[in-house]
């Protein structure tokens, strides 16, 4: 037995949090990668990390700086000696791997797994292997399904945080319906479209300037060209400020060019 304070049973889950999948890192090698994984988790509302026999022990001083503020994940992380102990309370376990490793299991994408998690009863876990080698066959054998993503066959290497964020993001897309506390970043408030009167003024301004430059010649094409111009200027849904700006541009072009001093 190592000097890590292994937990024999998973910690109690707060009411309402049992819809969240647990992130299980099996034999993680670098504290920095554990911290980055914690950061990816918290971005998308996942808060429970479990570590299985971390190579350099736990706590790891390198994890905190890499977590970039997601310290609460690291502080609450639970450590286990075996994967079986870490997922003992989970009914739906997904082993993330690019290969089946000789184990016959259903294969799902992060999106499919996340839909199942939101629909099924019981706790769920996403299981990630060591950075260098990934999960062993014995690890995958504990899972209900293999989770993988379409990836470049010539370069199938994802780092640990990237793999975690793929799963966390897909879970978050369906989390709003389960009151996960996630919000879409605020968008700049859009101004309403300009009234037709202002658009007509803009179109007329263009028409006047172009008429002076013989743009609508020959006369046989004038009507068609004016219609095309109108369609072009009404398509963007200009707001009041945009119409005023464009009118200002046209007015500036109308003025005689000032001689340089």
Tokens matching residue 260:
């340089």
Q: How far apart are the first and last CA of the chain?
A: 86
pLDDT in tens, 33-58: 999 999 999 999 999 999 999 999 99
Exposure of 190 in the CB half-sphere (CA atoms within 13 A): 7
Dmax over Cα atoms in the chain, in whole Å?
Answer: 93
% of residues, the chain, pLDDT over 70:
84
pLDDT in tens, 137-158: 999 999 999 999 888 878 877 8
Where do the DSSP E strands lie in 49-106?
A: 49-52, 78-80, 90-96
Side by side, which strands form the sheet with 78-80? 78-80, 49-52, 22-26, 123-128, 90-96, 145-147, 107-108
Say if residues 88 and 10 touch (Cβ distance below 8 Å): yes
User: How is 126-162 classified by DSSP, letter by letter?
Assistant: EEE--TTT---HHHHHTSSEEE-----TT-----HHH
Helix (H, G, I), strand (E, B) or coil at 22: strand
Tell me what pLDDT residue 25 has: 97
% of residues, the chain, pLDDT over 90:
60
pLDDT in tens, 93-123: 999 987 655 678 899 999 999 999 988 889 9
At residue 133, does pLDDT exceed 90? no
Residue ranges of domains in the chain, CATH in brackets: 22-178 (3.40.1280.10), 196-254 (no CATH)
Say if residues 42 and 71 touch (Cβ distance below 8 Å): no
Average of pLDDT values for 175-203? 74
**CA-based nearest residue to 43, from 168, 127, 180:** 168
Better-predicted residue by pLDDT, 255 or 75 = 75
Say if residues 113 and 149 touch (Cβ distance below 8 Å): no
């Amino acid at each position: 037995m190592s000097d890590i304070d292994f937990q024999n049973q998973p910690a109690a889950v707060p009411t309402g949090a049992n819809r969240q999948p647990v992130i299980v890192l099996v034999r993680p090698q670098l504290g920095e990668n554990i911290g980055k994984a914690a950061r990816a988790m918290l971005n998308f509302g996942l808060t429970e990390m479990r570590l299985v026999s971390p190579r350099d022990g736990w706590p790891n001083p390198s994890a905190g700086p890499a977590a970039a503020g997601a310290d609460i994940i690291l502080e609450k992380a639970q450590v286990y000696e075996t994967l079986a102990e870490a997922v003992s309370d989970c009914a739906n376990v997904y082993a993330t791997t690019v290969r089946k490793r000789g184990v016959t299991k259903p294969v799902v994408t992060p999106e499919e797994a996340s839909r199942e998690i939101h629909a099924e009863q019981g706790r769920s876990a996403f299981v990630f292997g060591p950075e260098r080698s990934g999960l062993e066959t014995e690890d995958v054998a504990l899972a209900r399904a293999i989770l993988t993503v379409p990836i470049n066959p010539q370069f199938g290497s994802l780092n640990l945080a990237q793999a975690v964020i793929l799963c966390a993001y897909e879970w978050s897309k369906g989390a709003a319906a389960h009151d996960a506390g996630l919000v879409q970043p605020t968008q700049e408030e859009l101004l309403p479209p300009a009234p037709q009167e202002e658009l007509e003024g803009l179109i007329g301004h263009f028409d006047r300037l172009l008429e002076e430059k013989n743009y609508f010649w020959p006369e046989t094409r004038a009507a068609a060209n004016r219609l095309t111009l109108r369609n072009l200027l009404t398509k963007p849904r200009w707001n009041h400020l945009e119409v005023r700006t464009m009118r200002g541009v046209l007015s500036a072009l109308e003025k005689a060019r000032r001689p340089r001093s």
